[in-house]
A and B are shown apart, each in its own frame.
Chain A
């Protein structure tokens, strides 16, 4: 493990973990088939874009805290497709109540993949709640998610990829990544374009 992954927060908690975020996301989306992907704003969306732009990607550029709920609406309306929300610990926690809303709905085709670097990566790497000891996967387990995990090695990421595809229950994993900002790979910013492209891939014409 590198120096960063051993770093402790001001509250004595481990900040993030050893994994490389780009490697994690590339592995999650390998051979993705008809997987649908929603990204939270910021670094998670750059990671998904770096793994390859796709008609089945819906990138958020604002509305922080909304990615999990977009995933819930999509998964509910499209039960025959796997949906994964790839987002950061800070984005997820801005809409933390959504975990309770999802926990009582539990669509079997929805997975939340939370990239946890223990920091607010986009704004100057301040220590986040997760970095100060909030364990999001344990909260999700208490809230009724069918499967939760805390992942700090690539084998766990590969297992998660299989879990995403099997639609066997509503899942959440926190993936412990290094606190670093790789070069930005920017997704398209035209929200109407992203929406219409995604809908077209599911067979829906613009109004």
Chain B
């Protein structure tokens, strides 16, 4: 039974689900600092001519960008790693004060079976930091949870002028192999 569930889980391409859900919500801008867990969504966004894919030098750039796009009536999403959440904290004031939809998908480090302990301080506080700044959060640790939770986060961002984040857990992403 356990093995059967694993087989079902592996059949769900959760990385592609991230992009599909963004498309379903009429996202026109995908702004990101790359992470391995986002690589499929980034590839799909870059290949899609109806999406503006914008690589950032640092994550907080994405908050300003998405505020600007929303001023012109267009939706977007910010993809980043948990370390980038720390970079965003002060800039989240822009969302808190002007209340525009800010949808974030965050791949976790320092969360489970982390080899590089330098990731742990930010990874262990990522969700709390987001919540302290007024962002609503959800966590996905199973492939089948990604699409419905991201759909929920997108719905509440775009229908509530709210900041929402889906954390993509390290168990979902898999252990990073440091030594082959």
Contact = CB atoms under 8 A, between A and B. Distances in A.
Contact of B73 (A75, A98, A199): A199
Given A63-B93, A73-B66, A100-B57, A202 B98 contact: no
B29 A76 contact: yes
A98 B57 contact: yes
A202 B58 contact: no
26 contacts: A38-B68, A62-B90, A62-B94, A63-B64, A65-B91, A66-B60, A69-B61, A69-B64, A70-B71, A73-B29, A73-B66, A75-B68, A77-B28, A77-B52, A77-B68, A77-B69, A77-B72, A77-B73, A100-B57, A101-B55, A101-B57, A104-B55, A191-B99, A195-B98, A198-B71, A202-B72
Interface of B: 28-29, 52, 54-58, 60-74, 76, 90-91, 93-94, 97-100, 158-161
Contacts of A63: 60, 63-64, 90-91, 93-94
A70 B68 contact: yes
Interface of A: 38, 58, 60-78, 95, 97-98, 100-101, 104-105, 191-192, 194-195, 198-199, 202-204, 207
B134 to A, nearest CB: 13
A61 B72 CA distance: 19
Nearest to B65: A73
A74 B69 CA distance: 5
A97 B61 contact: yes
Contacts of A198: 71
B61 A191 contact: no
**Closest CB pairs A-B (n = 7):** A73-B68, A97-B57, A69-B64, A66-B64, A77-B72, A191-B98, A74-B68
A202 B100 CA distance: 16
Contacts of B69: 73-74, 76-77
A98 B63 CA distance: 12
A70 B28 contact: no
B74 A77 contact: yes
A62 B161 CA distance: 19
Contacts of B63: 63, 66, 69
Contacts of B161: 207
B58 A66 contact: no
Contacts of B66: 73
A69 B54 CA distance: 11
